[in-house]
Amino acid sequence: MAELHLPTTLQPLFRELPRKLDVEAATVAEAIDRLDAQWPGLRDRLCEQGPALRPHIHVYVDRERAGLDTGLDERSRVDVIAAISGG
Amino acid sequence: MSSTVLLVGTRKGCFILESDADRRDWKLRGPYCDGWPVYHAVHDAESGAIYAAAASEWHGAGVWRSPDLGETWELSSEGFGFDEDKGLKLSKVSTLSAGHGRVLAGTEAAGVFESRDGGVTWSLVSTLDGQPNRELWNDPANQPPGHLGLSAILQHPDEASRYWVIVQGHGAFETTDDGSSWTPRNRGLRADWPIENPEVGYCVHKLVLAPDRTRMYQQNHVGMHRSDDAGQSWTEITEGLPSEFGFAAAAHPHDRDTFYVVPVDPGHGRVMHDGHASVWRTKDAGSSWQQLDKGLPHRDAHLGVLREGMAIDGYDSPGLYFGTSTGQVFASADEGDSWNEIASYLPSISSVEVAVLA
Q: Classify residue A32: in a domain, yes or no.
A: yes
CB B349 within 8 Å of CB B8:
yes
The pTM (predicted TM-score) of the whole model is 0.94
Q: What is the CA radius of gyration of chain A?
A: 12
CB-CB contact of B106 with B163 (8 Å) = no
The residue in chain A having the minimum alpha-carbon distance to the alpha carbon of residue B78 is: A41
In this prediction the ipTM stands at 0.89
Q: Rounded to whole angstroms, how far apart are CA atoms B283 and B89?
A: 43
∠ CA B329-B333-B339, nearest 5°, is 50
Closest CA to B59 of A53, A24, A60: A53
Number of domains within chain A: 1
CB B345 within 8 A of CB B33: no
Q: Closest to A85 (Cβ–Cβ): which among B58, B60, B78?
A: B58
Q: What is the pLDDT of residues B75-94, one digit of tens each?
A: 999 999 998 777 788 989 99
CATH number of the domain residue B40 falls in = 2.130.10.10
Q: Which domain holds residue A77?
A: 2-82
Q: Domains in chain B: how many in total?
A: 1
pLDDT single digits (tens) A19-45: 999 999 999 999 999 999 999 999 999
Point out the residue among B59, B81, B89 whose CB comes nearest to the CB of A45.
B59
Once rounded to an integer, what is the mean pLDDT over residues A54-70? Answer: 96
Which of B268, B218, B269 is closest to B244 using CA atoms? B218
Answer yes or no: is A87 within a domain.
Answer: no
How much of chain B, in percent, has pLDDT values that exceed 70? 97
Please, which residues have CB within 8 angstroms of residue A77's CB and are 6 or more apart in sequence?
A: A2, A3, A5, A61, A62, A63
Q: Backbone phi, then psi, for B255, in 5-degree steps?
A: -130, 115
Phi/psi of residue B47, each to 5°? -100, -20
Closest approach of chain B CAs to the CA of A75, in angstroms?
Answer: 27
Q: What's the CATH code of the domain at A13? A: 3.10.20.30
Provide the chain A residues 7-36 that lie in CB contact (below 8 A) with chain B. Answer: 7, 9-10, 12-13
In a domain, residue A30? The reply is: yes
DSSP letter for each residue of B332-349: ESSTTSS-EEEE-SPSPE
Greatest pairwise CA separation for chain B in angstroms: 55
Q: Could you read off the pLDDT of B274-297 as tens digits, one per residue?
A: 999 999 999 999 999 999 999 999
